[in-house]
A and B are shown apart, each in its own frame.
Chain A
Amino acid sequence: MSTLEIRDLHASVGNKKILHGVNLSISSGEVHAVMGPNGAGKSTLSAVVMGKTGYTVTAGSVLLDGVEMLGIPTWKRAAAGLHLVMQYPTEVPGVMLNDVLSEALKGRGRDGDIARLDTLLKTEAARIHFDEKFLDRPLNVDLSGGEKKRNETLQLSILKPLFVILDELDSGLDVDALRDCARRVMDATSEDNLGALVITHYSRLLTELRPSKIHILVKGRIVETGGPELADVLERDGYAAFTPAEVAAEADAKDDPMGFGLFP
């Protein structure tokens, strides 16, 4: 049983503070959702946990089984068991999926899986209806939105991290691909005890990825944590209902031109 704990995390981009003390904790096998409007800091949270450059952490901790992840390079965080499924997976021309996975597995000392990587890829591709012809493409190049997310999910299923952050999995995804990807993640939570932090704007994703807890992120803070029923409240009342007066007072129209509407 592993734990990923985010403690009082403050972060900024340039001079702009985005996260104002985020706290949450998730254990193996659990699915938690982080929901929030545009500008709440959802993508910043995933970037900071994974160690992307361009973000400054001013306070707080990200602990994987008690071990501080902040300050260690991204690739070591990944090797330790953190994984990020990106909202918009980057195209990497000329770099093949199996080369990257081989290197990634090598870094984890999983030589046995390198030897049977082709078989693993085919099996996992079939599970999520990812056409085998895409296995020989450079990473994400000339893939549709749905194929990119299937490709991300495929990598997740092979690398088998302890925890995954799914950043807006539903962006650019058709219904079939969404179901395939979400079901594969749910299967991993039971088969491999994967812990999944689902970052999303829309509650529709949560009919497939069923969280036991929902955290509502507004203006860089978790303003409410509850069970799955929170999604229904959000659907009905929007984010405004969860915005405490002092947070709302800080709200700056410039930061959130779309308002707190659930479907801007």
Chain B
Amino acid sequence: MPVLTPDSALSLGATWSQVRRSAHERAIAAPFPTIDEETWRYSRIGELDLTTFAIAETPTTITGASSQVTVTQVSASSASVDASLAELFAHSTSTDLFNSLNLAHMDVVVVSVARGVVAPQPIVITHTLNGDGSVYFPRLVINAAENSEVTVVERFISDDGVRSLVVPVLDARAAQSARVRYLAINELGDKSWQIGEHDSVGERDSDTLLATVALGGDYARVSTAARLRGQGSNTRQVALYFAGGTQMHDFRTLQEHAAPRTTSDLLFKGAVQDTAKSVYTGLIKIHKNAKGSVAYQTNRNLTLSHGAWAESVPNLEIETNDVKCSHASTVGPIDEEQLFYLESRGVNPDVAQRLVVLGFFDEVLAQLPVGDLAAPLRQRVAQKLSIGDPS
């Protein structure tokens, strides 16, 4: 298996190499990021040495496919690929290093829903990333045709102690009046890294939901961009992140309004305990033509230990006056008044803190696209909480 260098794409020799080759060229041209760049500020990118990883095929299992939904899986080693699939990526011209590396080496899953079709159940895609020293490049494309509806869950799993890197890309496209709901769950082990990107484009009157639950990883980053391209389109981004030990979770979000009367809403809630860190930076960008648009952005962080650290940086970039925008951002310990209230009922302080932290996250869990997952994820959060740990 080739060690990961910008040249390694050439060794693949895949038939549909044009997409991969041009991505590879952009990867070579892209400088390695540094924390001097705003989008990498506070990150741990300086610790990453790509040459210490070897490219591996992503071990992926998929459930929930049905006759109404087309799920196509193409690994980087596939010798030939349908021209229509290659066509999907013709427009992909990102100059970002990690997006380009992904495109050059990607193992692709394409979920397509035909016009007017409502997918009867969630598609669940699970990547199990247990190769020590391996780097994985999964790419998920969700193509929802006019007035269709689909829910996709993507899970990233690895064992503790496994030093792997995953560079996933989501590319979600909602055609006119389509409804796309996506949930990424990071259940990576304590030595795994993730540098991911979620990108959605909504056409007229479409509705997209990009959700993330991040519990694992050593350093786990997701940049999520929801772009509203058709008038009347709506998007929601929600995230629950909870870092402990020496973990770091890193989120960069974009709500881009490029059409009139578009609406976006974002709710990211995180907690850090022990000496963990988290970063949230978010931008609401409203183009001149996006009159009558509404955008909300809320980021709330709980710092549960003195050694834990969270950063929150909201930004607005608005080119028209005819909009309604609000953003709110908080970082701080558990609210004293809430604790006093519970303690005054006779609830022991450790239990009170657990209840308040779990309650804090419930607002996000309630908005996840697959309701059945809320209870087990809540359980995972409860297990991870070190406050008043019964064990």
Contact = CB atoms under 8 A, between A and B. Distances in A.
Nearest to A92: B338
Interface of B: 336-338, 340-349, 351-352, 355-356, 358-363
A95 B348 CA distance: 15
A66 to B, nearest CB: 20
10 contacts: A74-B343, A79-B346, A86-B344, A93-B362, A94-B359, A94-B363, A95-B355, A100-B342, A103-B342, A138-B362
A100 B360 contact: no
Complex A-B, nearest 7 residue pairs according to Cβ-Cβ distance, in ascending order: A94-B359, A94-B362, A78-B346, A95-B359, A90-B341, A74-B343, A104-B346
Given A53-B336, A103-B351, A75 B343 contact: yes
Contacts of B351: 103
Contacts of B362: 93-94, 138
Interface in A61-90: 73-75, 78-79, 83-84, 86, 89-90
A107 B363 CA distance: 27
A155 interface: yes
A139 interface: yes
Contacts of A107: 346-348
The binding surface of chain A is classed by DSSP as: mixed
A17 B352 CA distance: 31
Contacts of B345: 75, 78, 83, 100-101, 104, 155, 159
Contact of B341 (A89, A94, A103, A108): A89
B355 A159 contact: no
Interface string A244-260: 00000000000000000
Contacts of B336: 53
Nearest to A140: B341
Interface residues of A, number: 30
A1 B363 CA distance: 45
Contact of A94 (B342, B346, B352, B361): B361
A91 B337 CA distance: 9
Residue with the highest number of chain A CB atoms closer than 10 Å, among B346, B361, B363: B346
Given A52-B340, A53-B336, A94 B348 contact: no
Contacts of A100: 342, 345, 347, 355
Contacts of B347: 75, 100, 103-104, 107
A92 B354 CA distance: 12
Contacts of B344: 50, 52, 74-75, 78, 83-84, 86
A84 B341 CA distance: 9
Contacts of B346: 75, 78-79, 104, 107-108, 159
Contacts of B361: 94
Contacts, number: 82
Contacts of A159: 345-346
B353 to A, nearest CB: 11
A100 B344 CA distance: 11
Given A73-B343, A74-B344, A95-B359, A90 B349 contact: no
Contacts of A237: none
Given A92-B355, A103-B348, A159-B345, 5 more contacts: A53-B340, A89-B341, A92-B356, A94-B362, A95-B356
Interface of B is mostly: helix
B341 A99 contact: no
A155 B362 CA distance: 23
A78 B356 CA distance: 19
Nearest to B357: A94
Nearest to B359: A94
Contacts of A86: 341, 344
Contacts of B355: 92, 95, 99-100, 103
Nearest to A53: B336
Nearest to B337: A90
A93 B348 contact: no
A92 B340 contact: no
Contacts of A92: 338, 341-342, 355-356, 359
Contacts of B338: 90-92, 95
A27 to B, nearest CB: 22
Contacts of A90: 337-338, 340-341
Interface string A129-141: 0000000001100
B343 A95 contact: no
Contacts of B359: 92-96, 138
B363 A73 contact: no
A73 B351 CA distance: 14
Contacts of B348: 75, 103, 107
A101 B351 CA distance: 12
Interface in A148-166: 155, 159
A108 B347 CA distance: 9
A187 to B, nearest CB: 20
A89 B362 CA distance: 20
A138 B338 CA distance: 12
A95 B341 CA distance: 11
B360 A78 contact: no
A108 B352 CA distance: 15
Contacts of A155: 345
Contacts of A73: 343, 349
Nearest to B342: A100
